[in-house]
Copies of this chain bind each other. A is one copy, B any other.
Amino acid sequence: MKATNVTWHHGELAPDARERLLGHRPACLWLTGLSGSGKSTLARRIERKLVERSVNAYVLDGDNVRHGLNGDLGFSPEERVENVRRVGEVARLFVDAGTLVLAAFISPYAADRARVRALFEPDTFVEVHLSTPIEACEARDPKGLYQRARAGEIPSFTGISAPYEAPKSPEIRVDTSAAALDECAEEVIAWLVEHKVIPAPQ
């Protein structure tokens, strides 16, 4: 797949200027999984741990994107596609700016995720599949969405009345119902150290 961002104008900066400034490589961690699987919670925990380690990490999720940039989009199949497309493009801008960006979106369609992956250099895109079983997600149901979906009040609810196409070979797979949140976060961080995205702790 072609990484189209290599043709971008990088202004007057040396290619490694940002990496030297920030002390780590940029990357996009794309967290995909069912509603209630723990995407945003895990992303926020990883973000805190990374910022504490002086890594410039930042979470994009429904909270800061759905109400702003994508406030004009609903939940139809076409709007879900556009939602994921825009988030992918914004994540690419953050990576261009040197950030370790964590994008936490259901992103149920494999084709949409593949299009996002194609925006990045191979070693800057990390797909994290939240494989928490639907039974666990539904038992949590923090926003009462599964209950409403079962009652037929939410059309096209992922996992109930709309498909979730699980990633076949994500870089990382995490089940937040099988391990504590901190353990899950440390697992992802260990992967980033192992793959030399961020430095090992001093």
Chain A residues in the interface with B (C-beta under 8 A): 5, 8-9, 11-13, 17-18, 21-22, 43-45, 47-48, 51-52, 54, 56, 58-60, 63-65, 68-69, 86, 89-90, 92-94, 96-99, 119
Q: Which of B13, B43, B58 has a CB less than 8 Å from the CB of A97?
A: B58
Which residues of chain B are within 8 angstroms of A22 by Cβ–Cβ distance? 56
B60, A93: Cβ atoms under 8 Å? yes
Which residues of chain B are within 8 angstroms of A86 by Cβ–Cβ distance? 69, 86
> Please, how many angstroms separate the alpha-carbon atoms of A119 and B89 in the complex?
21
Distance between A15 CB and nearest chain B CB, rounded to angstroms: 12
Distance between A105 CB and nearest chain B CB, rounded to angstroms: 14
How many copies of the shown chain assemble into the complex? 2
**20 extra A-B contacts, CB within 8 A, seeds A9-B63, A13-B48, A68-B92:** A8-B63, A9-B64, A11-B47, A12-B45, A12-B47, A12-B48, A13-B51, A17-B51, A21-B51, A22-B56, A56-B97, A56-B98, A58-B96, A58-B97, A60-B93, A64-B96, A68-B119, A86-B86, A90-B90, A93-B94
A64, B17: Cβ atoms under 8 Å? no
Closest to A82 in B: B72
> Please, how many angstroms separate the alpha-carbon atoms of A92 and B71 in the complex?
14
- 19 A–B contacts from the bound complex (CB under 8 Å): A5-B68, A11-B44, A12-B44, A13-B51, A17-B51, A17-B52, A18-B51, A21-B54, A22-B56, A56-B97, A56-B98, A58-B96, A68-B93, A68-B119, A69-B89, A90-B93, A94-B97, A97-B99, A99-B99
Interface centre among A11, A44, A52, A92 (most CB of B within 10 A): A11
Which residues of chain B are within 8 angstroms of A89 by Cβ–Cβ distance? 68-69
Distance between A184 CB and nearest chain B CB, rounded to angstroms: 14
